[in-house]
Chain A
Amino acid sequence: MDIPYTVELRPDTGLYNAKVGIWLFLASEVMLFGALFSAYILLRVGAPEGYWPHGWLNVPLGTANTLVLITSSITTVLAWVSLKANQFGRFKLFHAITLLCALVFVGIKSFEYHDKFVHYEFTLKNGKFADGHMVENKLKQDGNSFTGYAVIRGHVVEDERELYDLNAHKAPAHEDIRIDGAQIAKMGNYGPWHNTYTAIYFTLTGLHALHVIGGAIVIGFLWGPGSKLWETDPERFTNRIEISGLFWHFVDLIWIFLFPVLYLL
């Protein structure tokens, strides 16, 4: 006995097995990201007045990435439509674009990550805060004291909160600032450890990026070696494209919420 309904539809549910499977899996994904979103809300609501960041991320890059993912979504659905219409060549073309989009997305995301890792905040001994991208780092740390110097491209502020709401304050022109080790009380870059915002930002986008990469690997396999199935069992292959497409749309859908929540609000 072979497993029934792998390709044909079960009469009473009107579904084939993998369709049920992928939707169940996506339901669990909803709960996974749902829990992270509630963590986001909680951390944001719990942050002290004026200490939840606004405008820390690059909106043009985020917008570009949103458009990239939306484009990959339409090509995914068109790839499936092409198979339905028996046009294998167009399927190849559309999913090639999907894969390209995935690559661009991950590329832009890595650039943004890198930008955060070279971005430093210094708490100075005179109570002021220096903030900017590292240009030259000749600091040596010994316990809590620093020697040497660092050059950053950025600015110095009196009130740390000015660093948080970049939308409200007109950022002064950034200039190269030299900071001596002796001035520094504390320093750190904008990694996940910086505050709860960067923590949830890196966790959410990191998990999302893993989904993008995972989805791209699956689609890449179906586009490349996996597409041999088209010769022998076109219906089953079309179903596989539909299932992987559903996952890809879900990844797109998550990003549609991540973008405003992390970049804009």
Chain B
Amino acid sequence: MSKNENHPATAHSVRGYLIVYVALIVGTILTVWASFIHFPSREINIVVALVIAGTKGSLVAAYFMHLISERKMIYSVLSCTAIFFTGLMALTLWALHDFPSLTVTH
């Protein structure tokens, strides 16, 4: 199976996986706790929750999905995806909030 050894050795990485697991649990508790705090504005709640979710997501992607030590080809595919994903979100939202100045809204 040595031919297929494209990831760091497995035996001692179990500890790494467990650390990530604990971090994810802590993150979950943290985000629930943060949601019950009334920050001065709801925007801060949103930012805090998304930052925690982003961190947890990155941990899963980086360690469980091994993206931290993946091949260049995978990175290229995923960066394209990330760019188009951002484009889809950003341009759609921009388009839907850029109205001609005299538009009557109610």
Residues from chain B with a CB closer than 8 A to the CB of A260 are 31, 35, 49-50, 52-53
**Does A250 have its Cβ within 8 Å of any Cβ on chain B?**
yes
Please pick, from B42, B71, B92, the residue contacting A14 in the complex, using a CB distance under 8 A. Answer: B71
Contacting pair A31 B84 (CB below 8 A):
yes
A13 to B77, CA, bound (A): 13
Contact sample, A vs B, 18 pairs, CB 8 Å cutoff: A19-B74, A20-B74, A30-B82, A31-B84, A34-B88, A38-B88, A38-B93, A59-B35, A66-B28, A70-B24, A74-B64, A235-B3, A238-B4, A249-B64, A253-B57, A256-B53, A259-B28, A260-B31
**Does B89 have its Cβ within 8 Å of any Cβ on chain A?**
yes
In the complex, chain B residues 85-106 whose Cβ is within 8 Å of any chain A Cβ: 85, 88-89, 92-93, 96-97
Residues from chain A with a CB closer than 8 A to the CB of B20 are 74
* Least CB distance, A128 to chain B, in whole angstroms: 26
Residues of chain B at the chain A interface (Cβ within 8 Å): 1, 3-4, 6, 10-11, 13-14, 17-18, 20-21, 24-25, 28-29, 31-32, 35, 42, 45-46, 49-50, 52-53, 56-57, 60-61, 64-65, 71-74, 77-78, 80-82, 84-85, 88-89, 92-93, 96-97
**Does A203 have its Cβ within 8 Å of any Cβ on chain B?**
no
Residues from chain A with a CB closer than 8 A to the CB of B1 are 84, 86, 234-235, 238
Name the residue of chain A whose CB is nearest to the CB of B89: A38
A6 to B96, CA, bound (A): 46
Contacting pair B92 A253 (CB below 8 A):
no
In the complex, chain A residues 108-136 whose Cβ is within 8 Å of any chain B Cβ: none
* Least CB distance, A52 to chain B, in whole angstroms: 10
Contacting pair A42 B77 (CB below 8 A):
no
* Least CB distance, B58 to chain A, in whole angstroms: 9
**Does A139 have its Cβ within 8 Å of any Cβ on chain B?**
no
